[in-house]
Amino acid sequence: MTAHTLGVEIACDGPDGSRDCPESAAVRARFASLTAAQVRADGRFDGWARRRRGGRLVDLCPACKPTP
């Protein structure tokens, strides 16, 4: 039996701290992306943003990104 790394999923943190993403969005999977940094780079290519909220970084999909 052989074990393979399945990769990382990055999900949207929603438009603000009190609401979840209305689309339950996640970064689209790509075959070669195995680390969180690679997946986040894929997301930025697709229009995702990484912002600071409440002292930590959050990932926002294109639908939630424009919401302050």
pLDDT for 67 = 67
Query: pTM to 2 decimals?
Result: 0.81
Say which residue the tokens 């999909």 belong to.
61
pLDDT averaged per 10 residues, the chain (length 68): 78 93 90 88 94 94 85
Q: How far apart are CA 14 and CA 3, in angstroms?
A: 33
Q: Are 62 and 27 in contact (CB under 8 A)?
A: no
